Amino acid sequence: MKFTQQKLLIIGTVWPEPNSSAAGLRMMQLIDLFQKDHWRLVFASTAVQSEWSVNLSELGIETVTIQLNNASFDDFLEKCQPNAVLFDRFMTEEQFGWRVAQTCPQAMRILDTEDLHFLRAIRTQEWMSKTNESLPNWQFKACFREIASIYRCDLSLIISSAEMQLLTHTFGLNPKLLHYLPLLYQSPNTALLPIFTDRKDFLFIGNFLHEPNMQTVIELKEKIWPILRKKIPGVQLHIYGAYPSQKALGLQNGKEHFWVHGRADNLEKCMQSARVLLAPIPFGAGIKGKLLDAMCNGLPSVTSSIGAEGIGNASNWPGFITDNTDDFVSAACQLYTQENNWKEAQEKGFERIQDAFHLSHFETAFHSLLHQFIATLTQHRNQNFMGALLQYHTFQSNKYFSKWIEEKNKDQH
């Protein structure tokens, strides 16, 4: 029997930068999962590649630059004829989903949400207005758009267990439309990691293009560090993150031992040299890759309830979870100065990776699910009436709006 290789088209919001953000790491992990299952990959994006983008061609992946609101994408689809299309975040599904449905109706449509953008948006709004509603008002555009995109796709990959529960319990989505797939890790070689006495100072790391990271640094600078540094004389706090703004760089203060370095050339080296990660993340969604990376590098952490969401709880956290500034400072001091507590926290991190985020727990199940979907796609779509309804109406509105923009662009040239 002749083997037919399946082809996957990935439509990326940006070209993946795994050393810049958890989103880039996520995309490379998805690429690896598909390649291990012997899929042929094509990666397309409207974005411009940066010097930090992965060279996908070296991985045997075809790369294509595509245009928004342009019929050239339809011609590209005709030639490509993918068996499945992966949309990187719901915005790309809105932009290109109707064209995929029109030109390649037989292709399975997969959405990788990265995190729920509408959840992040409402939390950002609550944080900026200093409100914390017990029952959030979901009646807003970003929520409608993202939920509709999930319905239109055959399968959506959800990175956080908390977001899986939100979608199924609060919004009543059929679990068959969703698949929980977090960031994935291998077991760290604990014997090679530096011990307590070989580490020093505090660390935070996060891409500065992501607003929660910037606000975390401000929280550290203005509320936590002025108290913490006085409790542990001589200690320093190192801030790393890709794409720092002048505002971020301006927060550095050598006299206060508060250092803003910008991009980390070697994430593992930075984490393995530090003793404690500080992450008082005030809002956001998804799961925080920095906290999982810290666990793999034997680095205990103090974080907020938002930081720990979808990863762990107070009983299994490698350090402490608190939203109170005084408690945060006390927890950081305890972890930093008490070796036995630090070792216990480090061990919890190793266990959490092994129990909940190890590659072996997810790889085979994901491959089996893909094969099942490809084989039963028509039946699956027949059972998703809401998806078909939204696909019909969105197809009509997006199609003609896109064609209007296309004609307008022609007139301008």
Strand order in 40-45's β-sheet?
Answer: 62-65, 40-45, 7-12, 84-88, 108-112, 155-158, 178-180
Q: What is the pLDDT of residue 402?
A: 64
Q: Is residue 49 part of a domain?
A: yes
Half-sphere exposure at residue 200, Cβ-oriented, CA atoms within 13 angstroms:
8
Whether residues 34 and 173 share a domain: the answer is: yes
Along the 413 residues of the chain, how does pLDDT read in single tens digits?
445 789 999 999 999 999 999 999 999 999 999 999 999 999 999 999 999 999 999 999 999 999 998 899 999 999 999 999 999 999 999 999 999 999 999 999 999 999 999 999 999 988 988 766 666 778 888 999 999 999 999 999 999 999 999 999 999 999 999 999 999 999 999 999 999 999 999 999 999 999 999 999 999 999 999 999 999 999 999 999 999 999 999 999 999 999 999 999 899 999 999 999 999 999 999 999 999 999 999 999 999 999 999 999 999 999 999 999 999 999 999 999 999 999 999 999 999 999 999 999 999 999 999 999 999 999 999 999 999 898 887 766 666 666 656 666 666 65
Whether residues 79 and 92 share a domain: the answer is: yes
Contacts of 40 (CB under 8 A, 6+ apart): 5, 6, 7, 8
| Domain, as residue range, for 299 | 190-357
Whether residues 272 and 198 share a domain: the answer is: yes
Distances (CA, A) of 303 to 50, 80, 246: 31, 45, 26
Report yes or no: 270 and 294 within 8 Å, Cβ to Cβ.
Answer: no
SS3 call for 268: helix
Whether residues 383 and 334 share a domain: the answer is: no
Q: What is the pLDDT of residue 290?
A: 97
Whether residues 408 and 262 share a domain: the answer is: no
Report the predicted TM-score, pTM, of the whole model to 2 decimal places. 0.93
Whether residues 31 and 120 share a domain: the answer is: yes
Q: What is the pLDDT of residue 395?
A: 66
Q: What is the pLDDT of residue 5?
A: 87
Contacts of 125 (CB under 8 A, 6+ apart): none
Whether residues 224 and 338 share a domain: the answer is: yes
The total domain count for the chain is 2
Cα gap 117→162, rounded to integer Å: 14
Cα angle 277-251-228, degrees, rounded to a multiple of 5: 45
Whether residues 101 and 209 share a domain: the answer is: no
Burial 157-174 (b: 16+ CB within 10 A, else e): bbbbebbbebbeeeeebe
Q: What is the pLDDT of residue 391?
A: 86
Distances (CA, A) of 388 to 50, 391, 392: 38, 5, 6
Report yes or no: 273 and 200 within 8 Å, Cβ to Cβ.
Answer: yes
Q: What is the pLDDT of residue 1?
A: 40
SS3 call for 259: strand
Q: What is the pLDDT of residue 407?
A: 63
Whether residues 147 and 294 share a domain: the answer is: no
Q: Looking at residue 271, which CATH number applies to its domain?
A: 3.40.50.2000
Q: What is the pLDDT of residue 133?
A: 62
Q: Is residue 366 part of a domain?
A: yes
